[in-house]
Structure 1
Amino acid sequence: MAFGRLETHKPHAPMSEINVTPMVDVMLVLLVIFILTAPLMTSAIRLDLPQAEGGEAGASPQALSLVVDAQGTVYLNDKPITAEALRLRLAEAAKRNPNAELELRADESVPYGRIVETMGLAQKAGLSRIGFVAQTPSTPKR
């Protein structure tokens, strides 16, 4: 140390390494976002609901058959029926046997709202066991 001179410090050298910690934090946040949103993306899959793989439906002795054709006409046990008569017949069937099953068959072209309306009639009448009948596809659709 020389007399009258102040000691000078060398300036710090620039850091030449990449700080990886922020990059890892961002990647982990993105991973969590993808893990949480992946199950929600399954609703984008196109479905053909009227066809289903499965066994043949067995005939239940206490089952009612409700059919809605392509024109929207409702049939109860293969006989055409009006909405008011259907409401009365379903209520009568529910009083006789509250565990009776309703087999609902609907044409593929029937609007979903019409099916929901028919199901609502059955539930208001007291029938809670509603089964959807679909045909097994003969050839796979692409």
Structure 2
Amino acid sequence: MPTIRARAPAFAAAEDAPMKELNTTPLIDVMLVLLIMFIITIPISTHQVPLDLPGTRPVSAPAAEPVVRRLDIDAAGAVRLDGRPMDARRLAAELAAIAAHPAAELHLRADAETRYERFDEVLAMVKRAGIARMGMIGNERFAEGL
């Protein structure tokens, strides 16, 4: 009876030999993750908002007491400047006069029920007039929900 010898499989010799190729799949995965991270974060870091900040040199005492003008927007969207009702044309003229006065400050107060569109329209008028000294007053009432 002939003897049967078990043969080693052909791939066993290939397993014992060192690999000649480099497995690049993990490297490609890492590179794709980094690429996605850069795509997401670069637009955020390049976004800029222009701000006019005060200078770093010490400010001397103001030459004159600031003239404070108060601009109110009620819930219906009506605008009052120092208690007087204003339409768009008169408000634009008054805001230009405020911007021309060097010591003038504008304090803006909006009712809690004011529509944002109306508030945005008034802010755009203030910006077009060139008013640089403006403050928002009465906002502390909105901090309760924080």
TM interval, short-chain normalised = 0.5 to 0.7
Number of residues paired by the alignment?
113
Q: Alpha-carbon deviation of 1:25?
A: 2.8
**Paired residue for 1:128?**
132
- Aligned residue in 1 for 2:57: none
Q: Indicate how the Cα distance of structure 1 residues 68 and 29 shifts in structure 2: closer, same or farther if over 3 A, else same.
A: same
Pick from 92, 106, 110: which aligns with 1:102?
A: 106
Query: Residue deviations 1:35-84, cap 9 Å, x none?
Result: 6526879xxxxxxxxxxxxxxxxxx8422211111100101123322222
Name the one with the larger helix percent: 2
TM-score (norm 2): 0.55
Is the 1:72–1:110 contact (alpha carbons within 8 Å) kept by the matching residues of 2?
yes
**% same residue:** 29
1:67 aligns with 2:63: no
Q: Is contact 1:67-1:105 (8 Å) kept?
A: yes
Letter in 1 for 2:32: V
**Residue in 2 that maps onto 1:7:** none
Q: CA RMSD in A?
A: 3.6
Alignment check: 8 A CA contact 1:68 1:105 kept: yes
Please say if residues 99 and 132 of structure 2, whose CA atoms lie closer than 8 Å, have aligned partners that are also in contact. no
Unpaired stretches in structure 1, ≥5 consecutive residues: 1-9, 42-59
